[in-house]
């Protein structure tokens, strides 16, 4: 009987036999994930920032590995996080940390229906096809490697299903899967409308999500195991200045002119207006003052700025959004920007404002990435 129990546990727990997750390391790695997915993994409305908080650890691990191996594509995520240079243990650590963030009971994180679908029709379709893998409550079945759909942002689910239909993504680990081939867009929207009501059952009125305090383990009484060696920061670097500045070095061979041209082109593509440019080092050199290279570029979307200052005028202090191109002490050119998401998450704000912050962060990252690589 005991053998059967042990075998069952090994079958349902894919990480059996591996090192336990280091949540402190996962929290550190999440600082780069937060630039697009929010400090608490809450994600944002739209197609690009799905919710990660509270998802099963094993699913997050597999999905992340798919990006590392190229099964799924997202060059910006690979570059900013350094995923391609992380160990499997690093990925397990951040997956475990995100899985531990239980935000579903806090109404501020509740998903609302942003698409005009029918809950009743969606329920009928969901119960006919989807419940067998994703469960009646929409929170998935680990044995079937089916992730939660309840609590996920609506536009992201719609995009995912359309990608399954077009075979850009593989559904159910089966390249020949045809589950969605016959669904119309209206039927997809109806299913999503039903999914948006499933997470309501987890809301606890008056409950406020409090981020977990990750503490280092107490000193053991037995001989201490050798500590894992300290690894250099991978991908985008988040500085120690209250975790509010992100920086990225220019790729080898990318000149200052290449970086600036690429950033300006990417900003136009993203509908961000260049509202200011300060060539600080050039101005100082004109005065006969020798100085490391420094230029500051300021970008703005007026409608985003309006929404944020209506929420809290203090956000005007961080506008317009700035990217600096600066030469460090080693003569290396670095791009730096304020991490607006980290600042906003010092106190939770309405989801609409958070969505804007995450979108702005991603746009600024896109611009910085273009500058760092010289490509747009």
Domains of the chain and CATH, by start: 2-108 (1.10.760.10), 111-202 (1.10.760.10), 237-373 (3.30.310.70)
Residue 166, number of CB atoms within 10 A of its CB = 9
**pLDDT recorded at residue 13:** 44
First to last CA, the chain: 60
Q: Are 245 and 340 in contact (CB under 8 A)?
A: no
Which residues have a Cβ under 8 Å from the Cβ of 149 and sit 6 or more positions away? 130, 134, 138, 139, 140, 157, 195, 198
**pLDDT recorded at residue 157:** 95
Residue 18, number of CB atoms within 10 A of its CB = 11
Dump pLDDT digits (tens) for 282-291: 999 999 999 9
**pLDDT recorded at residue 218:** 42
**pLDDT recorded at residue 236:** 60
Record the pTM. 0.73
Dump pLDDT digits (tens) for 68-118: 999 898 888 888 888 888 999 999 999 999 999 999 999 989 998 878 899
**pLDDT recorded at residue 335:** 94
Which residues have a Cβ under 8 Å from the Cβ of 191 and sit 6 or more positions away? 117, 122, 125, 126, 130, 183
Distance between CA atoms of residues 279 and 18, nearest Å: 52
**pLDDT recorded at residue 175:** 87
**pLDDT recorded at residue 142:** 83
Residues of the chain with pLDDT under 70: 1-18, 215-243, 341-349
Distance between CA atoms of residues 84 and 72, nearest Å: 13
């Amino acid at each position: 009987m005991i053998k059967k129990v042990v075998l069952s546990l090994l079958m349902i727990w894919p990480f059996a036999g591996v090192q336990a997750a280091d949540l402190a390391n996962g929290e550190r790695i999440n600082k780069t994930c937060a630039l697009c997915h929010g400090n608490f993994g809450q994600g944002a409305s739209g197609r690009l920032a799905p919710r990660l908080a509270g998802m099963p650890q094993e699913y997050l691990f597999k999905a992340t590995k798919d990006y590392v191996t190229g099964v799924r594509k997202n060059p910006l995520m690979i570059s900013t996080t350094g995923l391609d240079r992380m160990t499997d243990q690093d990925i397990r650590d951040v997956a475990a940390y995100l899985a531990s963030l239980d935000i579903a009971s806090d109404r501020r994180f509740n998903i609302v229906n942003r698409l005009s679908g029918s809950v009743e029709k969606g329920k009928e379709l969901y119960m006919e096809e989807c419940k067998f893998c994703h469960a009646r409550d929409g929170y998935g079945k680990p044995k079937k490697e089916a992730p939660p759909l309840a609590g996920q942002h609506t536009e992201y689910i719609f995009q995912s299903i359309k990608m399954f239909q077009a075979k850009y993504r593989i559904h159910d680990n089966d390249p020949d899967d045809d589950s969605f081939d016959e669904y119309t867009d209206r039927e997809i929207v109806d299913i999503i409308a039903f999914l948006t009501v499933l997470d309501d059952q987890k809301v606890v009125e008056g409950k406020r999500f409090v981020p977990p305090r990750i503490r280092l383990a107490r000193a053991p009484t037995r001989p201490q195991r050798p500590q894992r060696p300290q690894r250099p920061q991978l991908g985008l670097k988040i500085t120690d200045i209250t975790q509010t500045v992100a920086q990225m070095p220019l790729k080898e061979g990318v000149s200052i002119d290449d970086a600036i041209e690429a950033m300006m082109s990417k900003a136009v593509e993203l509908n961000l207006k260049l509202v200011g440019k300060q060539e600080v080092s050039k101005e100082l050199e004109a005065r006969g003052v020798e100085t490391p290279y420094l230029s500051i570029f300021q970008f703005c979307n007026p409608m985003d700025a309006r929404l944020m200052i209506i929420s809290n005028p203090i956000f005007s202090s961080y506008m317009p959004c700035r990217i600096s191109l600066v030469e460090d002490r080693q003569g290396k050119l670095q791009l730096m920007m304020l991490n607006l998401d980290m600042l906003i998450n010092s106190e939770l704000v309405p989801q609409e404002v958070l969505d804007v912050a995450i979108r702005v962060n991603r746009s600024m990252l896109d611009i910085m990435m273009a500058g760092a690589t010289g490509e747009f």
